[in-house]
Amino acid sequence: MVKCLLVYYSLGGTTKSIANEILKGLESKGFEVDIHDIIEGLPPSIENYDLLGLGTPTYYFRPPFIITDYIKSLPKIKIPYFSFILYGTIIGDGGNRIRKKLNRKIGRDIGYFKCNGTENFYGYIKRGIVTYPSHPDREDLKQAENFGKSIESNLNNKDYKPEDFDKKPGFIYRFERFTTQKWIVQKFYYRFFKVNNLKCTKCGICVDSCPTNNISMETGNLPKFGKNCIGCFNCELKCPEAAISSVIDWKIFSPFMNYNVRKIPKIPSIEIIKVNLNKGIAEKIE
């Protein structure tokens, strides 16, 4: 029996839903699967498995740092792998980055799955839009299960040809990605998280909403932000009192955010709803 380690990162639950469907497909074909959400900590050692599956949403048209850090931590061991990504606007080449890193680190690519997922990026929500609010939908989930089933034949087919790489995003998106590199975020941007002591109620929602446990708060004190930020800005999104501010609010980044918000409605394939951010919740505007 083939033992598979299925690792995923899911902040809002959409990637988790896809991972669970892939799990169903794998188990229906007799795979023994251990599934692990990387938010819960480091997964088990890959050396105890015959196959790796890795899934994530994309941030700034790249895999989040928490995923690339995991890939970097892997030993050089030659086993097959498959990957899957979710994206909320254009696909970009985030999947390519995962696959190329895994090709160099562990070996044979036997599957790549991609689908739309709800975009919960604070920079867009504060400007009044959410993309793909109904995704992954029923069809996405069925395709994910079928993808899981397909891994059996791909694994046994020595002539299996991996999926083509995705096209690079346009210049403005690549520049946006350039300005959010890990070393910039974790050496500089993290310093600019601010908490308004007149608004903050010390509820702890920001602490609980951080996927890397980067926010701490002692009883009676304001939240403190560490260096291990991945740029999700979920803390600022979820704050019910709008007490947190960060670099995402700087005017220098407004042209990027505004460009994307103007561009997105012009792409017919992208599903959009208008929202109002109220006490940490994106409420649909009817």
- 255 and 144 within one domain: no
- 15 and 139 within one domain: yes
- 257 and 225 within one domain: yes
- 37 and 61 within one domain: yes
- Say what the pLDDT of residue 257 is: 86
Q: Which amino acid is at 277?
A: L
- 250 and 120 within one domain: no
- 148 and 61 within one domain: yes
CATH number of domain containing 194? 3.30.70.20
- Say what the pLDDT of residue 107 is: 84
- Among candidate residues 177, 65, 161, the one with its CA nearest the CA of residue 112: 161
- 135 and 58 within one domain: yes
Q: Which residue range is the domain that position 90 belongs to? A: 3-156
Residue 212 within any structural domain of the chain: yes
Residue 161 within any structural domain of the chain: no
Question: Of 121, 156, 191, which residue constitutes the final position of a domain?
Answer: 156
- 128 and 13 within one domain: yes
- Among candidate residues 45, 8, 274, the one with its CA nearest the CA of residue 136: 8
CATH number of domain containing 127? 3.40.50.360
Q: How far is CA 9 from the centre of its chain?
A: 6
- Say what the pLDDT of residue 69 is: 97
Per-residue pLDDT tens listing for the chain (286 residues): 899 999 999 999 999 999 999 999 999 999 999 999 999 999 999 999 999 999 999 999 999 999 999 999 999 888 999 999 999 998 889 999 999 999 998 889 999 999 999 999 999 999 999 999 999 999 999 999 999 999 999 999 989 999 999 999 888 888 888 999 999 999 999 999 999 999 999 999 999 999 999 999 998 899 999 999 999 999 999 999 999 999 999 988 888 888 888 989 899 999 999 999 999 999 999 7
- Say what the pLDDT of residue 172 is: 84
Q: What is the crossing angle of helices 254-263 and 171-178, to 10°?
A: 140
Q: Which residues contact 37 (CB under 8 A, 6 or more apart)?
A: 8, 9, 10, 16
- Other beta carbons within 10 angstroms of residue 83's beta carbon come to 23
Q: E strands along the chain, which residues?
A: 3-8, 32-37, 51-57, 81-87, 109-116, 129-131, 194-195, 215-216, 224-225, 244-245, 272-278, 281-284
Could you tell me the two tokens for 230?
């991945």
- 133 and 180 within one domain: no
- 148 and 7 within one domain: yes
Residue 165 within any structural domain of the chain: no
- Say what the pLDDT of residue 236 is: 97
∠ CA 81-137-114, nearest 5°, is: 30
**Phi, psi at residue 83, to the nearest 5°?**
-140, 160
Question: Of 107, 129, 156, which residue constitutes the final position of a domain?
Answer: 156
Q: Contacts by 179-184 with C-beta closer than 8 Å and gap 24+?
A: 179/253, 179/256, 180/59, 180/60, 180/231, 182/65, 182/68
- Among candidate residues 220, 268, 260, 222, the one with its CA nearest the CA of residue 241: 222
- Other beta carbons within 10 angstroms of residue 47's beta carbon come to 10
Q: Which amino acid is at 265?
A: P
- 197 and 106 within one domain: no
Number of structural domains the chain divides into:
2
- 21 and 95 within one domain: yes
Question: Of 125, 156, 187, which residue constitutes the final position of a domain?
Answer: 156
Residue 164 within any structural domain of the chain: no
